[in-house]
Amino acid sequence: QVQLQESGPRLVKPSETLSLTCAVSGDSVSSDHWWSWVRQVPGQGLEWIGEISHSGSTNYNPSLKSRVTISTDSSIIQFSLHLTSVTAADTAVYFCARERTRSGTTFFDYWGQGTLVTVSS
Amino acid sequence: DIEMTQSPSSLSAYVGDRVTITCRASQTIGSYLNWYQQLPGKAPKLLIYAASTLQSGVPLRFSGGGSGTDFTLTISSLQPEDFATYFCQQSYSIPPYTFGQGTKLEIK
């Protein structure tokens, strides 16, 4: 059973960098999947942040591209999100998720439980 | 970006009712449309992919349809555990993947 778990600081100061890690078990970041970060402002919709492949290729949401970096570490059992120059608008629940492609469409079949990150001084 | 618009934004229904939620894309997306259910405080759960294929383990009362720009999610007979928020998501033109704003299904 694939499981994902987000971790990182729950409180970040404005203008600083938000950093989260997603630990993967039951699968490997080096498997033939892409891995994503998605966020949700409480009570609102879902916003895709970006993705990373097993080989380290990345794609980002153009609306966040200038501030986002997604990476994997050498252990290939986790991947990370870094979002720079945060403001209160970045306060959200951050989810990591595994992607899968079938019948031509790509969907998110496994999700972490999500972690609320608050941007405040 | 492809904009996904769901209707209605909220819906009240009784247990046992049949309900349909609509998702419209701002441009044609073929069948590259997926549906998720989100319970309060939980992560989204995949229900349907490729517009009409039921994810393994999802009850048969859920069904999806449509192609091009207009899609539907139907629950044939609402159960108490179905009261949640539902989101559609397109994967036709990326980045970025985009989601609908959500439809909150409440018990009447």
Q: pLDDT for B69-88, tens place per residue?
A: 999 999 999 999 999 999 99
Residue A31 has a pLDDT of 73
A9 vs A66: CA distance, rounded Å: 22
Chain A residues in contact with B45 by the CB 8 A cut-off are 111
Tokens at A65, concatenated: 């591209």
| Chain A residues lying within 8 Å of B31, measured CB to CB | 103-105
The pLDDT tens digits of the residues spanning B37-78 come to: 999 999 999 999 999 999 999 999 999 999 999 999 999 999
Residue pLDDT, tens place only, A54-97: 888 999 999 999 999 999 875 568 999 999 999 999 999 999 99
Helices within chain B (DSSP H only): none
- Mean predicted confidence (pLDDT) in B2-16: 97
Residue B26 phi/psi, 5-degree rounding, is -75, -10
Q: Tell me if B91 and A106 make a contact (CB, 8 A cut-off).
A: yes
- Classify residue B98 as exposed, middle or buried by CB count within 10 Å of its CB (0-12, 13-18, 19+): buried
